[in-house]
Amino acid sequence: MTKPLLSIRNLHIQGRQDAGWQPIINGVNLDLNKGEVLGLIGESGAGKSTLGLAAMGYCRDGTRISQGTVTFDGMELLSLPERRRRRLRGARIAYVAQSAAAYFNPAHTLMKQFTEAPVDIHHIESQADAERHGRELYAQLRLPNPAEIGFRYPHQVSGGQLQRAMTAMAMACKPDLIIFDEPTTALDVTTQIEVLAAIRDAVRDIGTAAIYITHDLAVVAQMADRIKVLLRGDEIEEQPTRDMLANPQEEYSKSLWAVRQFRSEPNPEPAADECPVLRVAGISAEYVRDQPVLRNVSFDIHKGRTIAVVGESGSGKSTAARVITGLLPASKGRIELNGNVLPERLAQRSKDQLRQMQMIYQMADTALNPKQTIREIIGRPIQFYLGLRGRERDEKVRDLLTSIEMEPDRFIDRLPGELSGGQKQRIGIARALAAEPQFIICDEVTSALDQLVAEDILRLLKRLQNERGLAYMFITHDLATVRAIADHVVVMQNGEVMEQGSRDQMFTPPHHPYTKLLLSSVAEMDPDWLDHTLEQRKKAQTDVDN
Amino acid sequence: MKLRDLKSAPPTAWFGIVVIFAYAVVAIFAGQLAPFSQTTIVGMEFEPRSAEYLLGTDNLGRDLLSRMIWGARNSVGIALATTAIAFSLGAGLGLLAAVLGGWADQLLSRLIDMLIAIPSLLFALLLLSIFGTGITILIIVIAVLEMTRVFRLARAVAMDVVVMDFVEAARLRGEGLVWVIRREILPNIMAPLVAEFGLRFCFVFLAVSALSFLGLGIQPPTADWGSMVRDNAALITFGDITPLLPAAAIALLTVAINFVVDWMLHRTSGLRD
C-alpha cells in the first residue's frame, strides 16, 4: 500500500471565545492520495475552511491546533519550524480562496502576481520561463486571449476570469496539493459551469491532489472522487462520490440530500379580471442619463401568489425592486398598487402606500440595526403604521414572534448579534409582517443561508402566504428556490424581460435560449452532469457551425 | 457603559478616571476648597511657599493655590462648553451631510474644507481681534474651528452606516430625517464619537490655554492655567518651578483623558492585548 500524500490524524482545533477555548474541529481524520480529489461538505460553521487551512499546517488568528498530526509527504507539518512550512506553501501546497477579488493586489497585473511565487519567493523558475508557463496555464484554464490577459489588472477582468487566474496562480509551482475553498460560490451559474470545467480538467492534467470545500452538493458531485461530510467539527461520514450520492448512510447526510426536494403547492391562477396587487407597466430606469439599466419591464403580481424574478448579477432584477419601492424613480412607465398609480418617488407616497409594500433583505446582518433590540425592531413599524404603543404594541410583537416560530420570552429583549443567521432572517420577516402589508419583496432572502435553514425560511414564507394572502416578489439567481416556491417566473437579462410564464411553463421545454442556458447551468446531483452538459453544448455549437 | 466593564478596566484607565474625577470635584467645589478668592491680593509679589500660601503668591501677590483651584473651574469649564458646542455642531452637520448626500453633502463638505484650509491659530487670532476677547466669543471661535474635525469624523463614520440595509428599511418605512439620524445611525457611531470627544477636549483645552498665554483668551483677573504660566514665567529664570505647576495641571488632565479614551477605543474596537 502506498503512503497517502496527506494524512491528518485525530485533529483538534479550538477557537478563542471570550476567556476560554471553544472546539471547532473535534478529532477529524483525513487521507488523501496523490492525484485524488476530496470534497469537504457541510454547513457554515462546520469547520470546512479551518480544516482546509490546517492541511497547510496553518491556523487563523484566534484559533489553535490543540492536538493531532498533519503529515504531508512524510513530513509532520505541525512540528516543522514556520520557515520550513512557508517554503512548502505556494510551492507544494497551494490555496484558492472564495473571493478572488479580495485576494488579488489591485496595483499589480495578473502576470506579475502569477510569477511572484515561482520567481521571487521559491526561485524555481526564471521570469521568462514563469511567464511562458503562466500563458500555458491561462490557456489550459480557458481564459480568453491567454497571451495577453496577463497584462491586465484584476479590475479589468470579470469575476469568473479572476477566479480562474487565481487557480492558475495556485498551479504556478506545480503543487502536489491544492485546497479550493468555495471557489465558485460567488459566481453566477452560467459562469460557474465554465470555471468548474476548467478547474477539473486542469487538476486532472497536472495530476495534483485537491481538497474541494463547498456547501453545494451538486458542485462537489462533479469535482470530487470522495466526499466527506462535516457537521460542527465532527466527521459524519465519508464515501466515494457515487456511493455517497446514491446511498448516504447517516441521517444528517440524508437531510442534506433531501433539501432540494422541497416543492410548494402552486397557488391557483388568478381570475382574468382580478386587479393585481402590483402592476409594473413598461418600466425603464437609468442611473446615468441615456444608459438604461431597465428597459420596458412589465409584470403583474396577484394576491396570494409568488412571482420570481430570475437573472444573473447585472440583469437588473434588484434595480426593478428599487424602482418599485420608489428609491429610484423610473424614467418611463408606471407602477400601480391595487389599480392606483403610485407616485414615483418615495417621499411622495402616502404612509398607507408605504405600509402595503415591505421588503426582506438578503443580508440579515446589515438589515437589522445592531443597536436595537428585537422589541424595538419589530415594534417600530407597529407603532409607526398602526399607532399602537406600550402594552398593545408589545402584545403584537409577541404574536409576531410566535408566528415566525420564535419564543417571545426568550428573544424579545435580545440584540441581533445574539441570534443565528436564520433567526435574524426570521426577524426580518417579522418586521415586514408588522406593517400588515399586502406585498413583500424578498431580495435573495435565502442565498446567504445554509440549505437546511434556507428551506425552513421558504416553508415559513409559504405558510405566512397561505395564512395572510400575501403576494411575494422573489428576487433570486437560484433556480432551486424558484422551482420550490414560485407561481410565476420572470427571466431577466441585461435589464430586459426575456421570458415570463407559470412555473410549469418555465421548467418544461421549449425554452427561450437564455432560459435554456440558465437551466442547463444549474448543477445537478448526477456526477456525470458536467460532462453531459458540456458535451451537449459542444454538439449544439458544432450543429450551429455546420 | 456597564459597571462590569469598569471593573475589568486596566490600571491606566483607572488612573485616568480617578484624575478626571478629582479635577471635577475641585472645579465644582472651587469656592469651598480655595483658601482665598482668585482676585484678592493677599500678600507681597512672588512670596515663597509658606504655611499660609502653600504654593506662594503670584506676580501681583495673589495666592497661587487659590488661583490654581479656581483655574480648574474656569479653564476646564470653558473647554468643556467649547467641546460640547463643537460636537453638537460638527456631529449634527456631519450626520446631515452623510444622510442627505448629493449637493447638500458637497456644499457642507467644501465649506468645512475651506475652514480647515486656514491655519487655525492664525484664524482664531484674527477673529478674536475683530470681535474682541470675551469668554463667549472665545468659546464660539474655538468651537467653530474644532467643529471641522468632528464634522469630518462624523460624516465618515456615518457614511459607513448610511449604506446599511436597516437604514434603507427605515427610509422605505417613511421615517423622517430626525428618526433616521437619531435612532438608526447615531447609536451605531457613538463609540468613535465618544472617543473623539475625549481627544477634542484635550485640543480645545490646549487651544484655550495657548490663546490665554498669548493674552487673547481668558482675561485677567480671572484665573486660568494658561495665563498663569505667562504671568509667572519670570520665576523660571530663578530656578523656581512654580510657573510649571499650571502647565503640569493641563498636562496631567490631558494624559488622564487620553488613558480613558484609549481604553474605550480598545473596548469598542474589540482589540485585545
Task: Give the 3-state secondary structure of chain B.
Answer: CCHHHHHCCCHHHHHHHHHHHHHHHHHHCHHHHCCCCCCCECCCCCCCCCCCCCCCECCCCEEHHHHHHHHHHHHHHHHHHHHHHHHHHHHHHHHHHHHHCHHHHHHHHHHHHHHHHCCHHHHHHHHHHHHCCCHHHHHHHHHHHHHHHHHHHHHHHHHHHHCCHHHHHHHHHCCCHHHHHHHHHHHHHHHHHHHHHHHHHHHHHHHHHHHHHCCCCCCCCCCCHHHHHHHCHHHHHHCCCCCHHHHHHHHHHHHHHHHHHHHHHHHHHCCCC
Work out the pLDDT band at B3, boundaries 50, 70, 90. low
Cα–Cα distance for residue pair A138/A165, rounded to 1 Å? 7
**Which of A29-33, B33-37, B266-270 has the least mean pLDDT?**
B266-270
Res A218 pLDDT > 60: yes
Ramachandran sector of residue A144 (left: φ over 0; alpha: ψ -120 to 50; beta: rest): beta
Instruction: Give phi and psi for B254, each to the nearest 5.
Output: -60, -45
Does A35-58+82-257 match A278-521 in CATH topology?
Answer: yes
Res B245 pLDDT > 90: no
Work out the pLDDT band at B269, boundaries 50, 70, 90. low
CB A335, CB A349: distance < 8 Å: no
ipTM: 0.76
State the CATH class of domain A35-58+82-257.
Answer: alpha beta
Predicted local confidence at residue B270, as pLDDT: 53
A18 contact residues in B (CB cutoff 8 A): none
CATH of A278-521, one of 3.90.1200.10, 3.40.50.300, 3.40.50.620, 1.10.4000.10: 3.40.50.300
pLDDT tens column, A376-387? 999 999 999 998
Q: Enumerate chain A positions whose Cβ falls within 8 A of a Cβ in B.
A: 325-327, 346, 349, 351, 354, 357-359, 361, 363, 366-372, 380-381, 384-385, 431, 435
DSSP state of A89: B
Identify residue A15 by its one-letter amino acid code.
G
**Mutation for testing the B interface, residue in A366, A369, A372, A425 having most B CBs under 10 Å:** A369
Domains of chain A by residue range: 35-58+82-257, 278-521
Could you tell me if B171 lies within 8 Å of chain A, comparing CB atoms?
yes
Could you tell me if B174 lies within 8 Å of chain A, comparing CB atoms?
yes
Work out the pLDDT band at B71, boundaries 50, 70, 90. confident
CB B181, CB A362: distance < 8 Å: no
B184 contact residues in A (CB cutoff 8 A): 369
Res A182 pLDDT > 90: no
pLDDT tens column, A61-109? 778 888 888 888 888 888 888 888 888 887 888 888 877 777 888 888 8
Predicted local confidence at residue A546, as pLDDT: 66
Q: Which among A346, A369, A370 has CB closest to B171?
A: A346
Res A148 pLDDT > 90: no
Predicted local confidence at residue B154, as pLDDT: 94
Res B1 pLDDT > 60: no
B173 contact residues in A (CB cutoff 8 A): 354, 380-381, 384-385, 435
Identify residue B260 by its one-letter amino acid code.
V
A385 contact residues in B (CB cutoff 8 A): 173
Res A259 pLDDT > 70: no
pLDDT tens column, A445-461? 887 777 778 888 888 99
Work out the pLDDT band at B272, boundaries 50, 70, 90. very low
Are B165 and A369 inside 8 Å of each other by CB? no
Work out the pLDDT band at B94, boundaries 50, 70, 90. very high
Mean pLDDT of A110-138: 86
Are B173 and A380 inside 8 Å of each other by CB? yes
Answer with the residue of higher pLDDT: A434 or B51: A434
Mean pLDDT of A146-173: 83
Res A1 pLDDT > 60: no
Pairing of strands A278-288, A439-443: unpaired
Closest residue, chain A, to B163 (C-alpha): A366
A327 contact residues in B (CB cutoff 8 A): 168, 171-172
Whole-number average pLDDT of chain B: 84
Work out the pLDDT band at A402, boundaries 50, 70, 90. very high
Closest residue, chain A, to B190 (C-alpha): A371
Cα–Cα distance for residue pair A443/B164, rounded to 1 Å? 14
Answer with the residue of higher pLDDT: B166 or A235: B166
Are A367 and B166 inside 8 Å of each other by CB? yes
**Which of A295-299, A451-455, B257-261 has the least mean pLDDT?**
A451-455
Mean pLDDT of A387-401: 91
Could you tell me if B194 lies within 8 Å of chain A, comparing CB atoms?
no
Res A469 pLDDT > 60: yes
**Which of A264-268, A302-306, A333-337, B154-158 has the least mean pLDDT?**
A264-268
Work out the pLDDT band at A473, boundaries 50, 70, 90. very high
CB pairs under 8 A between A and B: 46
pLDDT tens column, A502-532? 888 888 877 788 888 888 887 777 777 788 8
Nearest to B205 by CA among B164, B148, B264, B246: B246
The CA distance from A371 to the nearest CA of chain B, in Å, is: 6
Res A441 pLDDT > 80: yes
Res B181 pLDDT > 50: yes
Work out the pLDDT band at B95, boundaries 50, 70, 90. very high
Give A312's Cβ-side CA count (13 Å radius): 18
Res B177 pLDDT > 50: yes
A224-241: burial string, b at 16+ Cβ within 10 Å, e else:
bbbbbbbbebbbbebbeb
A440 contact residues in B (CB cutoff 8 A): none
Predicted local confidence at residue B273, as pLDDT: 41
Predicted local confidence at residue B205, as pLDDT: 79
Tell me the whole-structure pTM to 2 decimals. 0.78
Q: Which among B165, B168, B173 has CB closest to A381?
A: B173
Res B2 pLDDT > 60: no
Identify residue A198 by its one-letter amino acid code.
A
State the CATH class of domain B11-29+57-269.
Answer: mainly alpha
